Amino acid sequence: MSVLSSPWLNHIICGDARRMEAVPDASVQLVVTSPPYNVAKDYSDHDDDLSLEEYVDLLNAVWRECYRVLVPGGRLCVNVANTDRKPYLSLVSLIDEQLRTSGQTWLHRGHIIWDKGACLSGNTKVFVRERSTRAVACCRLSSLHDGGSWNGLDVEGYNATGQTCWLPISGLWEVEVTQGLALTFTEGCAVVATPEHRFMRKDGLLALAKDLQVGDRLRRAFSTPAYQGSIPTAFASCDLAWALGLYLAEGSISQETESGVRTLRYHLHSNEYGWVERLRGVWEAFGGTITSHKAGNKLVVSVSGYVACAVVGEFISGRTSHDKLPRNDVIGAPLEWRQAFLQGWLDGDGYLNEKAQRWEGNITGVNGRLMPTLHALARSVGYRLQHGAGWATAEPNGQRHPVVRWKLYLRESSHHNSVAWDALQIKEITTDNARFFDLALADEPHLFVLADGLVSHNSAGVSTAWGSFGRSTNPTLRDVHEYITVWSKDRLKLADGSETGVTGNQFVAWTRSIWRPEELIGELQKKIAAKLADARKRDKDDAWIAESIARAVWSQDTVPGETVWEMTTASSVDHPAPFPIELPKRVIELYTRPADVVLDPFMGSGSTAIAAVQMGRHYVGYELSIEYCQLAERRLAELRKAPETTGDNGK
């Protein structure tokens, strides 16, 4: 039977790669894949927290199947990162050892080191610049339009220049920096502050920037002028915080009536009757009168009383789901208070998935600032809130809005890239008008254009291991790379390996063992330096410069693979661990000819299939999760619809 008419070809089979029964023996020229790393990632069906023995068994079974389906001389390319730190677990060594001792004839061809530190995020481009007395930061989150990621807003708390805690979702953000102080931290980031700016020290006390000492540790840097250091005693009760959080999820306040009465309402489920007493305890203390009534399966709790409504207004701005937002004081409140507030919101809007140790829920994306605010709030109590892309639409007020699915993990991910908030130690304080303003974002590498036009990115490479800075005690290596370990089945050569379509330059570059696509940075640097020089000559103001640089950064042409790999991030496709399409693409172009067959036994979001289609190869894949199979099919369908604009490189 010709492969072209094979029912398995160009399909992603929703099933277990330990038994790839649909794929015949010796029918595949290349396997390119990235297995789960067993680091407790939140896959929808696969348990990524197996014992080492179970994990080894899973991989062994899959490699056995790969051997069966590969043609003699066919290649297996496995992308893997090393994991764990205490002690370090070299997954690449583990897999190499598995293949070497498998009893099958696998021939090792070597390792490709993928230098992740040199990649740019396709999601977020940020530039930050400072000139004399003003810093201008600008950010665009390109995935926002589809209700996707708000990760860039992790910069909250670093906007230490006195205006707002959050970087706006897009557009320019300008702040005055008169008589700036630059605080440099051991984590490798710097913050510009005015001397009067308040920071929270590790011991929980507030200190003015001018009173901070080298060696002080910051818990979190706030810039809320209104924050007075503690919640007034009258508001200190955690029950109140809970009631406010619940209000954020389920509450509304009526317009004032002619007699000046306003009513606060909670729209609960009828089985949440137990909460009425707790709400009564809170609101009666502020002179509110509580009544409740059932309406179908709803339970409406009403609190009438001007003071109660005013108290809510102290902590939450807005009155409806379109505009309700916790005020900065909430973020500045003591830890237990914030925890109770978050608990109230979770009780109202989420449900606890005990098995997975997380809260989950859906929220309509009508209020663009709510999710980032909750995200920051969750981070501030040590939890991780993750949003999916909009997966359905709701139509309040006749307008379509994405419904955003969220998950709140009750433990911080150890694989998150952020700086350790509680462990920022001041290394240096300078007063000479802070030279630059550097942000630390908590997601894949981001791009920064600094005051002097330098472009940098915040991959793991620019930060240092906390706890041993400059000392020999315990410097810890931070991997900024992953591996692709390459093996051949039975023999080195393919029987009929004619030209693959790769250019001479690509062949030379890609057969080098380190893949480091970083030239873009140099190009951008030149472009920005020219813009700055031009602006100075023409005496342009800051806003003009900011905008023109922003345009330069955003419009930077990237030649996929040649200059930059735009990263597929967990938030740009709804999968926790996609690899950039450039990775399978290079492997495919190096090791197969057009019309050859490429297999990915751990297909995930479909990156390998997309790369195969783009390169004119056939694909076949296995994936355990129906959700990811559907996601992969959606991505493939988009590719077929608009071949010239698909893939994460946008080209």
Ligand X SMILES: C[S@@+](CC[C@H](N)C(=O)[O-])C[C@H]1O[C@@H](n2cnc3c(N)ncnc32)[C@H](O)[C@@H]1O
Query: Which residues of this chain interact with ligand X, rule CB under 6 A?
Result: 16-18, 34, 36, 43, 45-46, 575, 577-579, 602, 604-605, 607, 622-625, 628
- Asked if 587 and 33 touch (Cβ cutoff 8 Å), the reply is no
Round to whole Å and give the CA distance between 559 and 524.
13
The count of other CB atoms within 10 Å of the CB of residue 353 is 13
Which of 39/300 has CB closer to ligand X? 39
Question: Measured from the CB of residue 573, what is the shortest distance to ligand X in angstroms?
Answer: 7
- Give CA angle at 145 (603, 43), nearest 5°: 30
Closest separation between CB of residue 101 and ligand X, Å?
A: 21
CB 602, min distance to ligand X, A: 3
The total of other beta-carbon atoms located within 10 Å of residue 389's CB is: 18
Task: Compute the least distance from the CB of residue 213 to ligand X, in Å.
Answer: 45
Nearer to ligand X, 151 or 373 (CB): 151
Query: Which residue, 121 or 456, is less far from ligand X as judged by CB?
Result: 121
Q: Which of 290, 573 has the CB closer to ligand X?
A: 573
The verdict on whether omega for the bond into residue 225 sits within 30 degrees of 0, i.e. cis, is no
| Identity of the residue, 487 or 602, whose beta carbon is nearer to ligand X in the bound complex | 602
One DSSP character per residue, 83-141 reads EEETTEE-HHHHHHHHHHTSSS-EEEEEEEEEEGGG-EESSEEEEEEEETTEEEEEEEE
Residue 153 or 603: which CB sits closer to ligand X?
Answer: 603
**Closest distance between ligand X and the C-beta of residue 17, in Å?**
4
Q: Given the complex with ligand X, which of 34 and 380 has the nearer CB atom?
A: 34
Cβ neighbour number for residue 337 with a 10 Å cutoff: 23
C-beta closer to ligand X: residue 185 or 487: 487
> What's the closest the beta carbon of residue 188 comes to ligand X, in angstroms?
28
Of the two residues 41 and 109, which places its CB atom closer to ligand X in the complex?
A: 41
Q: Which of 380, 361, 368, 355 is nearest to 318 (CA)?
A: 368
Strand stretches in 325-463, DSSP E: 325-326, 351-353, 358-364, 384-394, 401-409, 424-430, 447-449, 455-457
DSSP letter assigned to residue 223: -
Distance (Å, whole) CA 102 – CA 396: 59
Backbone angles phi, psi at 99, to 5 degrees: -70, -40
173: left (phi over 0), alpha (psi -120 to 50) or beta: beta
Q: Which is nearer to ligand X, 16 or 547 (CB)?
A: 16
In this complex, which beta carbon is closest to ligand X, that of residue 147 or of residue 604? 604
For residue 53, the minimal CB distance to ligand X (Å) is 16
Quote the least distance from Cβ 331 to ligand X, whole Å. 34
**C-alpha–C-alpha distance, residues 590 and 582, integer Å:** 12
Judged by beta carbon, residue 343 or residue 649, the one nearer ligand X is 649
Q: Determine the Cα–Cα distance for residues 508 and 200; give it in Å rounded to an integer.
A: 53
Return the number of other C-beta atoms located less than 10 Å from residue 31's C-beta: 28
Q: What's the residue count for the chain?
A: 651
The Cα 542–Cα 168 span in angstroms is 18
- Of the pair 36, 180, the CB lying nearest ligand X is at 36
Please, what sign has the CA dihedral across residues 201, 456, 386, 53?
negative
> CA torsion 644→645→647→651, rounded to 10°?
80
User: Directed axis angle between helix 335-349 and helix 370-380, to 10°?
Assistant: 130
In order, the DSSP letters of 577-602 are SPPPTHHHHHHHHHH--TT-EEEESS
Tokens of 209: 């920037």
Between 331 and 624, CB nearer to ligand X:
624
316/599 with CB nearer ligand X: 599
Measured from the CB atom, the residue of 10 and 230 that comes closer to ligand X is 10
Do 185 and 406 form a contact (C-beta atoms < 8 A)?
no
Dihedral of the alpha carbons of 9, 578, 583, 188, in degrees to the nearest 10: 180
Q: At what angle do helices 542-554 and 519-537 cross, to 10 degrees?
A: 160
On whether the CB atoms of residues 26 and 72 are closer than 8 A, the answer is: yes
Gap between the Cα atoms of 528 and 296, Å rounded: 62
Shortest gap between Cβ of 620 and ligand X (angstroms)? 12
Q: Following CA atoms 34, 582, 443, 637 in sequence, which dihedral angle do they give, to the nearest 10 degrees? A: -80
Closest CB 484 distance from ligand X, rounded Å: 12
